[in-house]
Amino acid sequence: MADKDWKPNYDESRVPEYTLPEALALADGTRVTAAGTWLDRRRPQLMALFQEHVYGRMHGPVPGMRIEWMSAHHDVLGGLALRKELCVRFGEGADAPSMLVLVYLPAAARRPVPGFLTLNFRGNHSICADPGITLTRSWLPRDPDHGIVDHRATEAARGSRVDRWPVERILRRGFMLATVYYGDLDPDFDDGFRNGVHPLFDAPDAPRPPDAWGAIGAWAWGLSRALDCLEKDADVDASRLAVMGHSRLGKTALWAGACDPRFAAVISNNSGCGGAALSRRCYGETVGRITRSFPHWFCPRFREYAERESELPVDQHELIALMAPRPVYVASAAEDRWADPRGEFLSALHADPVYRLLGTEGLPTRDWPPVDHPVHGRIGYHVRTGGHDVKPYDWDQYMTFLEKHGLGPAAG
């Protein structure tokens, strides 16, 4: 189906009848009734299915990875913060792919400090007007949601996305914040996987197998490599870091959290199709639309389920269940129908039995909460006023959620 002939469904009465795969059913059809069976048998089965059918095979660290500490400056942001930057090089050569990691730590906090590890859309320099942040040298889009334009970062771009990054608010609450520009890892367009980190693993000019990883896999891989680095920083409590992402980077945060159990909590903000929303609902963005518009995000096999969502062997509630028993938060926005807020909630709801099997609170509601009424169990959820964005309201919920689960500064 051509995109010009396709129109999103925003009518609940037109959501098809569907049967979700059973998260607690083993491949032989028997039901998981013990925590050990989930951890030893069912969880690995689901991981294999998501790698084969949705995100592609995940890779481990690359040999020769080097960490170069670039700078550490105290008394930045009016004395509120310590700012660090480091460069991670994925290989020995001078032209090896690399990423810049920006770290802000609250100056007055007791060390080591817990907090957030995230990816950003416009370069590290875009999250804060701090003139000391290194400008990215990687590919940049003029608009991450429309078009492919390669251009260079300029001084004028400093702080251009502060609306999504309340850095001082986060620091004053005692959390640290680390971020990486996603374009350092893989430029966000269909370039045949010739740039970024893919060539480190893909055989040159060889056909890509159906389960080859896409951009989401590469971005998630980069988050794990950033965590490798933060584990070496005595100022950071890497054992209490939450991975957080918005939109396509919310999909990435979920996949990173599934693949890497070192992340203490996982936060998805408006991640929609291929993220927290159930694929089988076919509401808003669908598998067909997302794989036509962004074929580079997922493994090639995922495209086979365009307009055939019911044939997927997994659905996104099982992705959320892969975080269990770690805290996981799913956030929606009332006007973001494209991301299917109800479908995001239903994924959280249907992951609940796995959390309860593992002895946790799970999601403490059966009903979709009213707008701006968050629920904070071991699975957290809110749908806030407004559209597709990240707001201070969202960040406030995430910090409260982490504090509840012993991942805030007061618990250190």
pLDDT tens digits for 185-206? 999 999 899 889 999 999 888 8
Q: Are 87 and 105 in contact (CB under 8 A)?
A: no
Secondary-structure percent of the chain, ordered helix, strand, coil, rounded to 5:
35, 20, 50
Q: Is there a catalytic annotation at residue 247?
A: yes
Distance, in Å, from the CA atom of 343 to the CA atom of 278, rounded to the nearest integer, reads 5
Q: Is there a catalytic annotation at residue 74?
A: no
Residue 241 pLDDT grade (very low, low, confident, very high; cuts 50, 70, 90): very high
Structural domains of the chain, ranges and CATH numbers in brackets: 44-411 (3.40.50.1820)
Which candidate in 247, 268, 271, 332 is catalytic?
A: 247
Q: Which pTM does this prediction carry?
A: 0.96
Q: Are 110 and 412 in contact (CB under 8 A)?
A: yes
Distance, in Å, from the CA atom of 106 to the CA atom of 108, rounded to the nearest integer, reads 6
Which candidate in 59, 160, 310, 388 is catalytic?
A: 388
Rounded percentage of the chain residues whose pLDDT exceeds 70: 97
How large is the greatest C-alpha to C-alpha distance in the chain, in angstroms? 60
Q: Residue 242: how many CA atoms within 13 Å on its side-chain side?
A: 30
Distance, in Å, from the CA atom of 272 to the CA atom of 257, rounded to the nearest integer, reads 16
Amino acid found at 88: V
Higher pLDDT, 244 or 154: 244
Which of 188, 217, 215 is CA-nearest to residue 122?
Answer: 188
DSSP letter for each residue of 40-73? IIIHHHHHHHHIIIII-----PPTTEEEEEEEEE
- Looking at 143-157, 336-350, 398-412, which range is the least confident one? 143-157
Residue 149 pLDDT grade (very low, low, confident, very high; cuts 50, 70, 90): low
Q: Hey, what long-range contacts does 39-47 have (CB within 8 A, 24 or more apart)? A: 43/322, 46/314, 46/318, 46/321, 46/322, 47/258, 47/259, 47/322
Q: Residue 125: how many CA atoms within 13 Å on its side-chain side?
A: 16
